[in-house]
């Protein structure tokens, strides 16, 4: 599935150039044009899904594509860690309110170098709960949602 108006689909089809670090039938990885740090890589499944929630689980080729993207996220972080960076952040945004600017699922692999104190753009503790009951109510709602989806999709568990 491709979208002719999507910048990442156009990178995938080669009509927009990129500095590639990996490419297969399912996945492309290239340097971010606006890097948060030197060596900032974007890992992009070649199928056009807007967000991670849009990945279908009933299509084996889609599942394979998404799994390979996750695998390449891992491999990219590992490769950065072997002599290049001291650590990495993995960042993936879904929706404009989360800071997603290209509506094609992608994963940022951001290298971190020794001595930095860079934070990846969020304030730790900014989402403090008013009390334990509120915290537990979030946990229960999320756990119930995960359970419902895991059971209905029947992939794991």
Categorise residue 110: left if φ over 0, alpha if ψ from -120 to 50, beta otherwise. beta
Question: For Zn ion, which stretch binds (CB under 5 A), given 7-15, 39-47, 69-77, 121-129?
Answer: 7-15
- The correct pick among 48, 106, 108, 112 for binding Zn ion (CB under 5 A) is 48
Determine if 66 is a binding residue for Zn ion (CB under 5 A): no
Q: Determine the Cα–Cα distance for residues 49 and 103; give it in Å rounded to an integer.
A: 8
Residue 98 tokens read as 């989360």
In the complex with Zn ion, the residue whose CB is nearer, 9 or 79, is 9
Determine if 9 is a binding residue for Zn ion (CB under 5 A): yes
Can you tell me which residue has the tokens 């967000």?
51
Active site residue 104: no
In the complex with Zn ion, the residue whose CB is nearer, 49 or 79, is 49
User: In this chain, which residue has its C-beta nearest to Zn ion?
Assistant: 6
Per the residue annotation, which of 40, 48, 106, 108 is the catalytic one? 106
User: 45 burial class (0-12, 13-18, 19+ CB within 10 angstroms)?
Assistant: buried
Q: How many CA atoms lie within 13 A of 46 on its CB side?
A: 14
Q: Determine the Cα–Cα distance for residues 46 and 134; give it in Å rounded to an integer.
A: 40
Determine if 61 is a binding residue for Zn ion (CB under 5 A): no
Determine if 6 is a binding residue for Zn ion (CB under 5 A): yes
Question: Which of positions 95-154 make contact with Zn ion (CB under 5 A)?
Answer: 104
| Cα-Cα-Cα-Cα dihedral sign, residues 125, 126, 129, 130 | positive
In the complex with Zn ion, the residue whose CB is nearer, 29 or 77, is 29
Residue ranges in contact with Zn ion by CB under 5 A: 3, 6, 8-9, 48, 104
The set of catalytic residues is: 106
């Amino acid at each position: 599935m491709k979208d002719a108006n999507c910048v990442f689909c156009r990178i995938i089809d080669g009509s927009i150039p990129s500095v590639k670090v990996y490419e297969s039938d399912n996945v492309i990885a290239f340097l971010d044009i606006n890097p948060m740090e030197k060596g900032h890589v974007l890992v992009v499944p070649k199928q056009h899904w807007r967000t991670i929630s849009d990945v279908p689980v009933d299509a084996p080729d889609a599942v394979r594509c998404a799994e390979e993207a996750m695998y390449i996220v891992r491999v990219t972080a590992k490769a950065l860690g072997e002599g290049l960076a001291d650590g990495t952040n993995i960042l993936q945004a879904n929706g404009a309110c989360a800071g997603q600017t290209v509506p094609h699922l992608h994963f940022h692999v951001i290298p971190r170098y020794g001595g930095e104190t860079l934070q990846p753009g969020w304030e730790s503790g900014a989402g403090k709960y008013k009390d334990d009951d509120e915290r537990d109510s979030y946990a229960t709602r999320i756990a119930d949602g995960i359970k419902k989806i895991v059971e209905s999709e029947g992939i794991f568990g």
